A = this chain, B = another copy of it.
Amino acid sequence: MEQILPHLDSVFSIDCVLFGFDGKELKILLIERNEEPFKDWWALPGNIVGPDESLDQSASRILYELTGLRGIYMEQYYAFGDPHRHPQGRVITLAYYALIRLGGDKELRPVSNYAKQANWLPISDLPKLAFDHQKIYDKGLEKIKRRIKHQPIAFELLPEKFTLTQLQHVYELVLGKKLDKRNFRKKITSFGVLKELDEKQKGVSYRAATLYRFDKRKYAKLFGKEISF
């Protein structure tokens, strides 16, 4: 904010907690570093913010480079700026989370040189993370726990057409607790943002469930009214 901007040896980066759901588990995308510091450690994907990039753009770019995906729901949630969080200098990092529906195995692209590999790992069994990335992850999970109670973000983790059981499963994974089936259905349908389709689940070896779709239009109309779980 000073008139003449002092030149400080400072860098900002973005680190992303990419949450993915494959129908069974909640996972995050981690990369195995190929460079010091923390060579061979697992870390959150991140990068330096380019000089003409907005923060959101930068986050989208990181995601795109690793997964080839665009148009994914991302949200900035905190800045981590401990002076010593990076051993090689002052790096303030802005944390983003993303919510991604995983289907097949096409959500990974060849990694760039600073990583040996990238992998979706289940959050129930994460390795030790480089830098302060555990803290960043923890806060990210906390954020989506809070947010899923009030905003329709669960749908971002599901395919466009989904069953109520799948939806419930997402809530249970994120909130970390079991929910009652009947009560869940009563509540989620009472919001009036689900459109029941004339279509059934396919490829299951038991009674197929009805498919639903999230109705963005109806949701937009609700604006102002809080959803609450």
Which residues of A are at the interface with B, using a C-beta cutoff of 8 A?
1-13, 15, 35-37, 43, 46-49, 51-55, 76, 78-79, 81-83, 86, 88-94, 114
Contact = CB atoms under 8 A, between A and B. Distances in A.
Given A2-B48, A3-B36, A83-B51, A8 B8 contact: no
Contacts of A7: 9
Contact of A92 (B8, B12, B35): B12
A11 B9 contact: no
Contacts of A49: 10, 81, 92
B91 A1 contact: yes
A76 B79 CA distance: 8
A8 B51 contact: yes
**How many monomers of this chain does the complex have?**
2
A1 B46 contact: yes
A102 B55 CA distance: 36
Given A10-B10, A12-B12, A79-B94, A5 B54 contact: no
Contacts of A82: 54
A26 to B, nearest CB: 22
Contacts of A54: 81-83
A206 to B, nearest CB: 37
A6 B49 CA distance: 11
Given A10-B11, A10-B12, A11-B10, A5 B79 contact: no
Nearest to A62: B1
Contacts of A35: 2-3
Nearest to A93: B1
A46 B2 CA distance: 9
